[in-house]
Chains A and B, each alone.
Chain A
């Protein structure tokens, strides 16, 4: 089955700097890759996603890149702000419209 790995597990950045989180997946059939942001005690919020026919997608300060050959995709957050502090989960689509999630990455933005 699909195996999604996420690195690093924890990332601390100074406010204003960029943060990059990488995920790898194993199933070449996966064709949809969303990123979710989860704040403490809340449900995950979809922040950006990418499909396998696209290499990069950007939405203001957030971007996602996909390398299908290497089976990895990354989340890029520029000009980080304290409110970006949260746990970020990557996921990859698997059969029957399900998602396989990574273990999550705690991002801490230091003011």
Chain B
């Protein structure tokens, strides 16, 4: 149990375009999903917390208009990187929390975004 998927696994896009990344909890209902960004050889940086049916809470310094998050159901959250630029190139990882299991966060496999 506790499987989280992400799609796509990697994406290359041109500067100025928007990219949508999906995060799904496959075998449990995720009341909360989290979006992280990870640069090479660095730790995970939390970008935002997404609760089903409500607006996401963004961490300090993360532009909410640039990184649009939607958590429309208990099994799906999406992150849209709008007007992407080369500096947005990174490894984006989501995690999902099952409220019945307390604090545990289960991570997806990540999405490698490259902006040309």
Verify B110–A98 contact, CB threshold 8 A.
Answer: no
Q: How far is it, in angstroms, between the C-alpha of A96 and the C-alpha of B102 when the chains are bound?
A: 12
Q: Which segment of A11-19, A38-46, A77-85 sits at the interface?
A: A38-46
Verify A42–B57 contact, CB threshold 8 A.
Answer: no
Number of interface residues of B (CB under 8 A): 22
Verify A101–B44 contact, CB threshold 8 A.
Answer: yes
Verify B46–A98 contact, CB threshold 8 A.
Answer: yes
Number of A-B residue pairs at CB separation under 8 A: 51
With both chains docked as a complex, state the minimum distance between the C-beta of A94 and any C-beta of chain B, in angstroms: 10
Q: How far is it, in angstroms, between the C-alpha of A98 and the C-alpha of B105 when the chains are bound?
A: 9
Number of interface residues of A (CB under 8 A): 21
Residues of B within 8 A of A49 (CB): 103-104
Binding site of B, secondary structure by majority: helix, strand, loop or mixed?
A: strand
Verify A97–B97 contact, CB threshold 8 A.
Answer: yes
Verify B104–A104 contact, CB threshold 8 A.
Answer: no
Verify A104–B107 contact, CB threshold 8 A.
Answer: no
With both chains docked as a complex, state the minimum distance between the C-beta of A57 and any C-beta of chain B, in angstroms: 13
Residues of A within 8 A of B112 (CB): 41
Residues of A within 8 A of B102 (CB): 32, 51
Q: How far is it, in angstroms, between the C-alpha of A13 and the C-alpha of B102 when the chains are bound?
A: 34
Question: Sorted from nearest, which 3 A-B pairs have the closest CB atoms?
Answer: A43-B107, A32-B103, A43-B109
Query: Can you show 11 pairs from A to B with CB atoms below 8 A apart?
Result: A41-B110, A43-B6, A43-B107, A43-B109, A44-B93, A46-B105, A96-B49, A97-B32, A98-B34, A98-B49, A103-B43
Seed contacts A41-B110, A103-B43; 5 additional CB < 8 Å A-B pairs: A32-B102, A43-B93, A43-B109, A96-B57, A97-B103
> Hey, which bits of chain B sit against chain A, CB under 8 A?
4, 6, 32, 34, 42-44, 46, 49, 57, 93, 97, 102-110, 112
